[in-house]
Each structure stands twice: as C-alpha cells, then as structure tokens.
Amino acid sequence: MDRRAFLRVGGAAAVASLSGCLGGLSIGGLSEDDFDVGMSANAFLPEVYEIERGETVVWGNNGSRGHTVSAYESAIPEAAAYFASGGHENLEAAREAWSARGSGNIPPGGTYEHTFSVPGRYDYLCIPHESKGMVGAIVVEE
C-alpha cells in the first residue's frame, strides 16, 4: 500500500472512530444550547432570528475559522445602540480594526452576545466573510 492510500484509509478510520465521541458538539466545541445564532463557514444560522425586546442574543462560532459580528449602522433602528464584536463604535472603525489587527475576531468555540432593547430590524455582517454573503438580521418584537 502506498503512503497516500495508507493515510486515506487511516484518516477515515480515525474520523469514524472519533465521531461517536463528539456527541452533539460542533467543530468549535459548542453545543446548540450554547448559542442562538451559529456561525458556519460563510453563514449565520439562522440568517434571520426573531426575539422579544430586552432579550440577549448569543452568537456562537461553531465553524473552523474566525468570524465577526458587526451591525450595519444604516440598517438598525434609529434609537438603537450600535453593536460589534470588539466593542467598536461604528462599522468603519470595526472594519479598520479588523484589517489592522484582527480586532473583533470570534474564534472557533467563541461567543459574542448583545442585548436588544429597541424594537425593529438589525442587519449585521461578518467583516471577513461579507463578500461571501455572510450577513444576518435580528428582528426585535415589542
């Protein structure tokens, strides 16, 4: 057996033997009970999440690479506070901080949370994966 064939067979066997050990855990080590909105390779799941006013949303990175959560300033209710992982004051600052030093990164297995006190729709994005369509929305009901 050549080396590549051995590695294919051995790797598949290792994955199969460990698959039962993972239970309900994802790649990032979070269970579905740890978050409200998941972050996969290039998507927020669910893309639109509905809550009641005053509730806190937890985003969980259950993927294999870092993500951010940053609101579109022009797409949140007028009286609402801006939110972004990394605590940035606006989207421009969040983009600059991400580009300069990776600020706002939520690593695999990490979470970010925000409490929504103003009813309305909040559109947001993942800065490094926005071009791949990684956008979402929180809809806050009265």
User: What's the rounded Cα separation, in Å, for the pair 127 and 8?
Assistant: 35
21 vs 67, more confident: 67
Which domains, and CATH codes, for the chain?
Answer: 26-141 (2.60.40.420)
Which tokens go with 36?
């409200």
When mean pLDDT is compared across 13-22, 70-79, 80-89, 128-137, the lowest value belongs to 13-22
* Residue 10 pLDDT: 41
pLDDT tens for 67-119 read 999 999 999 999 999 999 999 999 999 999 999 999 999 999 999 999 999 99
Q: Could you give the 3-state DSSP secondary structure of residue 17?
A: helix
Residue 71: which of 22, 18, 130 has the closest Cα? 130
Position 50 confidence tier, pLDDT thresholds 50, 70, 90: very high
19 vs 63, more confident: 63
Mean pLDDT of the chain: 86
Position 29 confidence tier, pLDDT thresholds 50, 70, 90: confident
The helix (run of H) or strand (run of E) holding residue 137 is strand 135-141
Q: What is the pTM of this model?
A: 0.80
